[in-house]
Amino acid sequence: MHTFSRILAGALLLVAPAAFAQSTATVSNVPVSARIYVPISLNKIADLSFGDIFATSTGGDVTLNPQGGTRSTAGPALATTGTVSAAAFTVGGKRNATYAITLPADGTVSLSGPGTAMPVSKFTASVSNGAPAAAATGLIPNSAGATQSFTVGGTLTLGANQTDGDYTGTFNVTVAYN
């Protein structure tokens, strides 16, 4: 019986590697893909300009509407001279893609000049397809090389007896695919 046990153990050792030979499997020809987007682009066409404004003893706000670039005021008198324009931009990129517009937060932009700095706030955008200003989103047209335009307005706050002179500043606009 002892010899039989040795023969049986030897036979099992020879069979064991064959039992484990099927412990792996392979799948061939697995598909691989990628989607490439054209980078989004943003170009400035026109600057934001509130135009000429007369200072008053109480100060106040001048609001520039991004749709049509019209001004309204609560306090200061508006002159009929000077350039008045909403900032204008074009956006290009992947056809038929939506994008979001990010405008400056209140308290982050001011105009500097010979007197006290004047804050610009309540930035709003108007997209050329008539999207509501609150949405601040757009859609790149579905044709090669096409762009969409949008305009930006805001509110300038003058101090009481604002010092005469030219005031300037800058702001950032960002667009990103949704």
Distance CA 116, CA 125 (A): 27
Averaged pLDDT for residues 44-63: 96
Residue 79 DSSP class: P
CATH number of 133's domain: 2.60.40
Whether residue 154 is contained in a domain is answered as yes
Whether residue 48 is contained in a domain is answered as yes
CB 153 within 8 A of CB 64: yes
Task: Please state, in angstroms and as integers, the Cα–Cα distance from residue 178 to each residue in 39, 102, 149, following that order.
Answer: 13, 12, 17
The tally of CA atoms less than 13 A away on the side-chain side of residue 87 is 18
Averaged pLDDT for residues 73-90: 94
Q: Look at the pTM and tell me if it is higher than 0.85.
A: no
Whether residue 29 is contained in a domain is answered as no
Most confident of 15-19, 28-32, 145-149: 28-32
SS3 125: strand
pLDDT tens string 38-48: 899 999 999 99
Range of the domain at 143: 40-177
Whether residue 163 is contained in a domain is answered as yes
Whether residue 98 is contained in a domain is answered as yes
The amino acid at residue 4 is F
Whether residue 137 is contained in a domain is answered as yes
Whether residue 27 is contained in a domain is answered as no
Averaged pLDDT for residues 132-146: 79
Sign for the pseudo-dihedral over CA of 91, 94, 96, 98: negative
SS3 10: helix
Q: How many domains does the chain have?
A: 1
CB atoms within 10 A of CB 153: 26
Whether residue 105 is contained in a domain is answered as yes
- Is residue 165 left, alpha or beta, with left meaning phi > 0 and alpha meaning psi from -120 to 50? left
CB atoms within 10 A of CB 39: 8
